Structure 1
Amino acid sequence: MLSLALGGFTGVSAQAAERAPTEEDYFANVPVVLTASRLDQPLNEAPGAITVIDRHTIRLSGARTLVEVMRLVPGYLAGGWNGANPLASYHIPIDDYGTRNLVLIDGRSVYSTSYLGDTHRGMMDVMLEDIERIEVLRGANSAAYGANAMFGVINIITRHSADTVGGELSVSTGDNGIRDRRARIGVGDETASFRLSIGEQRDSGYLNAYDDRRLGQVNLRADFKPTLADDVMIAMGVSYLDGGEGYSATDQGNPFHTVHTRDTHWQGEWRRQLNERDELKVSANYMEDRLVDVAEVPGLPGVIMDYSGKGRRTNLEVQHKATLSSQVRAVVGAGHKEEKARSYPLYATHDWRSFRESRVFGTVEWRATPQWLINTGVFVGQHSRVGTYTVPRFMVNWMPSAEHTVRVGVTESIRAPNLSELDGDVRIYSPTGVLLAQEFGATGRVKPEELRSTEIGYVGRFPNQSLTLDARLYHERMDKIIKISRYDNPVTGLNTRDYVNLTGLTMVGLEYQLRWKPFSNTELWLNQSYAGLKWDDPRLDDRDERRPPTHATLIGVFQRLPGDWQLSVIHERQGGMTFRDKRDWMPFSHRTDVRLAYPFRIGTSKAEAAFTVQSVEGDRPFFLVRRNFELARKSFLTLRVEM
């Protein structure tokens, strides 16, 4: 059902070393994963802590959004400054826009170019029903993916279109304005297949907030197999979001208004199997994000608050996996991307603001002995605005037996400044064109953030108890953190704000995930994380700025009942925390979600009816506590029919 299932390690390891992995390998008892090093590896041999969630688990969770699914991963928290903009990230109080967390959909990065480098909008580009599995690497991984993989990688793999031939319809309805609907149609066979998915979600967001959400999605995927050695995938799609924004009708900084966004993408990928173990892959993708965010400032007739803009990203990459000997495997690659944005409100110019980055990367895996596996990796990027950076990884996996693995290593990561941090220039004018204020005036002197992560990991299997355990103990040192500082701009003569490398911090933590299957129809999960954070600047510690919970626990029970009924209960507990500062301190909280589902048939079609209640205990304070924002208790009914 989930990542650390209950099989032996060594059998999968031998298969992966001798031939290219098949689809069955990815769902074996110890699944093969791709995210840690770009090499196909059994989970226990990966140079990092990885959680794998498959499509069956996603359905059992009762989640409506990808953010809700990410609650199942240790160390990840769900947030969002309002209900129209849900976000999940590792160390989320330090990363409440997801700028330090890489999100990939079939290898395509989805962070926004036009605004703050945020990932929450890109996470809405995929429908949960189209996902095959999600691989989540918990921790730094710039050595494999570059400048945005500082805190973790969420790698979303969608279903092959040949596996979704036929049709599917689903609808959900419930309180808090929940109205979801989706349709899918697939045609073809193993040589050529196509899938079209269309969906829409609506809900009312948080309580006491102006954040109603309407999300629409259209996605197309096509897969071709022109020869036995070649595979081609083409995908394209568009998603649009209409979301409420603002604190009150009279708030001059953020009055009530509706924000409109639209993301468009296309991507292509060609794989050639060179022999049983080696592969060449070429991929290209393009993404455009548009934002319309306009509001009249209350009390100032004719004065407009405008954060609208659009961004574009073009990316090309070539990658080669090679077996150098019976003990050594490697992957090498190179790529180039261009990012640009245009927004007069954000940059005070009608010209495009941009940067380019060329990159080379490589990983070498050396099986020194049957018990010792050494993994080294390096990523070198040439960034047109901040220069060249190099980030390495060194990890050692010791496998004293087939059931146990101990992992020790060091990884370095960076996050390059986004275009807003480099070039942001936000000005407010009167109706007659007089400059009233300058909200931001970035000088472009900001440098990349840096992170050095040291970790000890353990992956264990206890077959007699039908139990698995994955634990990660880490120490992370983060320097040159980008924050906001005020200064007097000599050009405009106004006091404004700039992005600067202001301070550093240290994080230490322990997290683990336990999976136990005491009976054939019962599975239990226990995820726990403990974290501590210390800012270098004692003033930030005094203000409790961006303070994660010191502890978090998730308990899941998945029980198949008589008559094929399925019961899921997920209970989550979090210590006190804040997303911004102590004015919005959230006390200890807990939440229980319950889902009861019944599968049946309508003629020859499979169907399922499910009733889900989220936050059974009731409403609870969330995010902007001083504004009385609350997560609502929600219940909804879902009907799904597969034809």
Structure 2
Amino acid sequence: MPTHLATPRTLILRRLATRACTPLLILSTQALAAAPPDASEAAYLADLPVVLSATRLQQARADTPGSVTVIDRHMIRAAGVRDIHELFMLVPGFQVGMHTGNRPLVTYHGLSDEAPRRMLVQVDGRSVYSPYFIAGVEWNQLGVDIDDIERIEVFRGSNSAAYGSNAFLGVANIITRAPSETRGTSLRYRAGDGGVNDVAVRHGQRIGDVDLRLTAARNHDSGFATINDWRKAELATLRADWAINHDHTLEFQAGWTNNDLGTGKDDNATDPERGSRITTSFGLLRWRHAPAPDEELSVTWYHQEENGRDRYALSVPVSSRQSGLPVSIGIPFDFDYGFRAVRDDLEIQRVTNPAAGLRAVFGAGMREDRLDAPLRFNSSERVRSGVNRAFATLEWRASPQWLFNAGFMVEDNSLSGTSLAPRASANYHMTENQTLRFAVNRSYRSPIAFEQKSSMIFSNSAPIVTPFLTIPAGTPISQTFRPSPGLRAERITTYEMGYLAELRPLHASLDARLFLERARDLIEMRLENSSAGLLPRNNTRYFANSGEADIRGLEVVATWRPTTGTWLSLQHTELRIDGPGNPATASGAQPSAWVANSAPRHSSALFGAWEFHPRWQVSVARRWVGGMSWYSDTAHRVGMYRQLDVQLSHRLPPDLLRGEVSVTARNIDGDDETFAPGASWWGSRIFGTLQVEF
């Protein structure tokens, strides 16, 4: 770019790119973060708002086509959370709840039942969006330890133009720390209320030109007090970065997770208390060639497998009135919800600088999912689905004041056909510190295999003999889900205006987003009468493109951060959702306005930390969340609640031991319900953490 077009913000980006391209950008920001206090902390904070995942180009926050929230590792440590999903409480517009103590719920701008599925989450570019069953993100199977995270970049808004159909309402990219920044050995132990008993070990070292990190962890707790929702979550991950030469790098990741979970209810004849298990394994290989600043070619392939085990046998009593037989009977069932899901994904991407003032990224990829789940699809045959995609983004700096961005994603999905997701934005830099943004985009969410092909028909596992007749084994008894062929992709059109002020002399920023999101063809669960099987039902479920919603509102975030360890952040969200919907708990012929209740109208949060003494820090998170309904009727509405979290941490004297000890109190202002009245009470919890490094 010619000098006369280069703003100071552009020069910062160019200096960063000159030191190292995309693979080394994170390393440079980490090195600055680890610098001693006498280094230029102000310079670190000035350069920090460089994000990597808004458009697949590295950009200043003022140049992105949407609002981006960055949660760095200092904030993660001060938040005092045990699980990654809890960090989204710090992001405006998000709703975070607990279906049970081991089933978290995370969604952005509502539109969710007990299985949120309209947001994309990635770990180092590997999608953890599950297309298999109803839920979109399996938060227990992310395959990353919270202490290995460098930062989380949350793009607040639709972004299918960059990341495809699953980025329907928002995108979260979890970026892990480079192995070169985690050399040595680290041990972590945590214990406290509710059966909290966590342990983790991490070791990193350099062997020749390869930096390695191996992490193993186990988290355990007993869940809520009144239901069977305990969990034991285990993981082991390996990351290796090989600097082949100055412009070639090779990254390898592998991981395994195992989750033993309590499920079921003590008063349910067909869903008794029991234990279940889900295991996940994955491998990722990424090659990068970066011969010059703003020039990079990368190829990424990953493979992952999920295996679920949930099998139990029981006899269900059925009265003569229910069955139409002259006698009551007991029907033996062998419930087997086990599954195996396999995914392979290959993508090639090119970043280039074709001319002065222009930057571009383009690429293509393919993904295939294979699913074996006989009970859920009433078939022993493997269910297959595939996606082929092509994408491109062009950034044009027309002048020091104006920056334009245009992009698109074309996807060919075997379940829903071809879709085009375009985006266009204009950023006007009013001054060096203030930016206005205007953006419009169209995004899609393709139906998942379960929504389109589920067919759950239960049969008796043994013959039923009565004086009047004999029912052979394998006779269809009841149908709970039936296939929904012809489902179309959901679509959403987003219009937004943003304002960003980065007042570096004051170490402060202000981010405001005003938006209108028009969602159409939303896939909703419907009910119908069914005579399939021996026992007729009036609540057999299927899916239809019956929903629509207009989401409008305002998000404001004000942050003051004079040092990396001291800050204060205030945020507020005003949200209004309008549009008819069809509830899952009533006849599909009766429309209702449940969509309007799927997110709180008002929510606010305060998050701050203060290093009040060398090696001592206190942090506070306070949330005010309005009433909402995760389900689709007023019977499942939860009221407004407040949450207060406090943590006190102390860095150990280096002459004694390198590490930190902390005490965390979560939700200390009383019990709250975040999902359904009477079903899940989230109480206060206090735990202590000791982390040491060698």
Say if 2:129 and 2:166, in contact at 8 Å, map to a contact too.
no
Distance (whole Å) between structure 2 residues aligned to residue 361 and residue 503 of structure 1: 28
Segment drifting more, 579-588 vs 361-370:
579-588
> Match of 1:552?
603
Superposed counterparts of 1:139-218, under 5 Å: 139-188=157-206, 191-218=209-236
* Secondary structure at the counterpart of residue 335 of structure 2: strand
Amino acid corresponding to residue 265 of structure 1 in structure 2: F
Superposed counterparts of 1:248-397, under 5 Å: 248-296=265-313, 299-300=316-317, 302-397=332-427
Shift of 1:10: 5.0
Q: Specify whether residues 32 and 349 from structure 1 end up closer, same or farther in structure 2 by C-alpha distance, changes over 3 A only.
A: same
Give the alignment partner of residue 509 of structure 1, picking from 533, 553, 571. 553
Shift of 1:464: 4.8
Q: Are residue 478 (structure 1) and residue 519 (structure 2) matched?
A: yes
Amino acid corresponding to residue 273 of structure 1 in structure 2: A
> Match of 2:80?
62
Shift of 1:275: 1.9
* Secondary structure at the counterpart of residue 625 of structure 1: coil
- The one-character-per-residue Cα deviations of 1:45-97 (angstroms, maximum 9, x if unpaired) are 01111011111110011011101111111112212321112232212452643
Amino acid corresponding to residue 199 of structure 1 in structure 2: A
Q: Specify whether residues 297 and 624 from structure 1 end up closer, same or farther in structure 2 by C-alpha distance, changes over 3 A only.
A: farther
Q: Are residue 609 (structure 1) and residue 627 (structure 2) matched?
A: no
Shift of 1:122: 5.7
Shift of 1:304: 3.5
Say if 2:238 and 2:253, in contact at 8 Å, map to a contact too.
yes
> Match of 2:542?
498
Shift of 1:540: 5.1
Distance (whole Å) between structure 2 residues aligned to residue 546 and residue 33 of structure 1: 33
Distance (whole Å) between structure 1 residues aligned to residue 141 and residue 171 of structure 2: 12
> Match of 1:444?
485
* Secondary structure at the counterpart of residue 421 of structure 1: helix
Distance (whole Å) between structure 2 residues aligned to residue 619 and residue 123 of structure 1: 27
Shift of 1:602: 6.5
Shift of 1:124: 3.7
> Match of 2:686?
635
Q: Specify whether residues 18 and 536 from structure 1 end up closer, same or farther in structure 2 by C-alpha distance, changes over 3 A only.
A: farther
Give the alignment partner of residue 460 of structure 1, picking from 496, 501, 504. 501
* Secondary structure at the counterpart of residue 284 of structure 1: strand
Shift of 1:458: 1.0
Distance (whole Å) between structure 2 residues aligned to residue 622 and residue 78 of structure 1: 8
Segment drifting more, 492-501 vs 442-451:
492-501
Amino acid corresponding to residue 267 of structure 2 in structure 1: T
> Match of 1:421?
451
> TM-score, with normalisation over the residues of structure 2?
0.87
Q: Specify whether residues 190 and 332 from structure 1 end up closer, same or farther in structure 2 by C-alpha distance, changes over 3 A only.
A: farther
- The one-character-per-residue Cα deviations of 1:253-278 (angstroms, maximum 9, x if unpaired) are 53322221111111010100132220
Shift of 1:466: 3.0
Shift of 1:8: 7.5
* Secondary structure at the counterpart of residue 81 of structure 1: strand
How many residues are treated as equivalent by the alignment? 635
Q: Specify whether residues 166 and 537 from structure 1 end up closer, same or farther in structure 2 by C-alpha distance, changes over 3 A only.
A: closer
Distance (whole Å) between structure 1 residues aligned to residue 14 and residue 235 of structure 2: 41
Say if 1:319 and 1:334, in contact at 8 Å, map to a contact too.
yes
Amino acid corresponding to residue 300 of structure 2 in structure 1: S
Say if 1:413 and 1:450, in contact at 8 Å, map to a contact too.
yes
Say if 1:474 and 1:508, in contact at 8 Å, map to a contact too.
yes
Segment drifting more, 379-388 vs 26-35:
26-35
Say if 1:255 and 1:297, in contact at 8 Å, map to a contact too.
no
* Secondary structure at the counterpart of residue 445 of structure 1: coil
* Secondary structure at the counterpart of residue 71 of structure 1: helix
Percent identity of equivalent pairs:
30
Superposed counterparts of 1:9-88, under 5 Å: 9=9, 11-15=11-15, 20=21, 22-23=25-26, 24=28, 28=44, 29-30=46-47, 31-88=49-106
Say if 2:516 and 2:550, in contact at 8 Å, map to a contact too.
yes
Distance (whole Å) between structure 2 residues aligned to residue 457 and residue 190 of structure 1: 47
Shift of 1:441: 1.1
Q: Specify whether residues 540 and 418 from structure 1 end up closer, same or farther in structure 2 by C-alpha distance, changes over 3 A only.
A: same
Shift of 1:445: 1.4
Shift of 1:147: 0.9
Q: Specify whether residues 348 and 133 from structure 1 end up closer, same or farther in structure 2 by C-alpha distance, changes over 3 A only.
A: same
Q: Are residue 587 (structure 1) and residue 631 (structure 2) matched?
A: no
Distance (whole Å) between structure 2 residues aligned to residue 190 and residue 12 of structure 1: 32
Q: Specify whether residues 435 and 271 from structure 1 end up closer, same or farther in structure 2 by C-alpha distance, changes over 3 A only.
A: same
User: Could you list the runs of 5+ residues in structure 2 that have no partner in the other structure?
Assistant: 1-6, 34-43, 318-329, 462-472, 583-589
User: Could you list the runs of 5+ residues in structure 1 that have no partner in the other structure?
Assistant: 1-6
* Secondary structure at the counterpart of residue 181 of structure 2: helix
Give the alignment partner of residue 574 of structure 1, picking from 625, 637, 641. 625
Say if 2:479 and 2:532, in contact at 8 Å, map to a contact too.
no
- The one-character-per-residue Cα deviations of 1:219-248 (angstroms, maximum 9, x if unpaired) are 1111101111111110011111111112x3
Q: Specify whether residues 519 and 244 from structure 1 end up closer, same or farther in structure 2 by C-alpha distance, changes over 3 A only.
A: closer
Q: Specify whether residues 9 and 540 from structure 1 end up closer, same or farther in structure 2 by C-alpha distance, changes over 3 A only.
A: farther
Shift of 1:149: 0.3
Shift of 1:537: 4.0
- The one-character-per-residue Cα deviations of 1:364-415 (angstroms, maximum 9, x if unpaired) are 0001111000000000011122211101000111001110011111011111
Amino acid corresponding to residue 588 of structure 1 in structure 2: M
Say if 2:665 and 2:684, in contact at 8 Å, map to a contact too.
yes
Superposed counterparts of 1:109-148, under 5 Å: 109-121=127-139, 124-148=142-166
Shift of 1:604: 6.8
Shift of 1:113: 3.8
Say if 1:114 and 1:342, in contact at 8 Å, map to a contact too.
no
* Secondary structure at the counterpart of residue 346 of structure 1: helix
Say if 1:113 and 1:289, in contact at 8 Å, map to a contact too.
no
Segment drifting more, 494-503 vs 232-241:
494-503
Distance (whole Å) between structure 1 residues aligned to residue 140 and residue 117 of structure 2: 11
Distance (whole Å) between structure 2 residues aligned to residue 91 and residue 255 of structure 1: 34
Give the alignment partner of residue 97 of structure 1, picking from 105, 108, 115. 115
> Match of 2:670?
618
Shift of 1:511: 0.7
Q: Specify whether residues 128 and 323 from structure 1 end up closer, same or farther in structure 2 by C-alpha distance, changes over 3 A only.
A: same
- The one-character-per-residue Cα deviations of 1:156-215 (angstroms, maximum 9, x if unpaired) are 111111111110000000011100000011111682111110000011222322211110
* Secondary structure at the counterpart of residue 496 of structure 2: strand
Q: Specify whether residues 95 and 452 from structure 1 end up closer, same or farther in structure 2 by C-alpha distance, changes over 3 A only.
A: farther
Q: Specify whether residues 587 and 369 from structure 1 end up closer, same or farther in structure 2 by C-alpha distance, changes over 3 A only.
A: same
- The one-character-per-residue Cα deviations of 1:501-526 (angstroms, maximum 9, x if unpaired) are 11211111111211014789742110
Distance (whole Å) between structure 2 residues aligned to residue 198 and residue 386 of structure 1: 39
Q: Specify whether residues 14 and 226 from structure 1 end up closer, same or farther in structure 2 by C-alpha distance, changes over 3 A only.
A: closer
> TM-score, with normalisation over the residues of structure 1?
0.94
Determine which structure has more spread, i.e. the larger CA radius of gyration.
2
Q: Specify whether residues 541 and 383 from structure 1 end up closer, same or farther in structure 2 by C-alpha distance, changes over 3 A only.
A: same
Amino acid corresponding to residue 333 of structure 1 in structure 2: G
Amino acid corresponding to residue 604 of structure 2 in structure 1: T
Say if 2:57 and 2:351, in contact at 8 Å, map to a contact too.
yes
> Match of 1:534?
578
CA RMSD in angstroms comes to: 2.3
Distance (whole Å) between structure 2 residues aligned to residue 275 and residue 619 of structure 1: 55
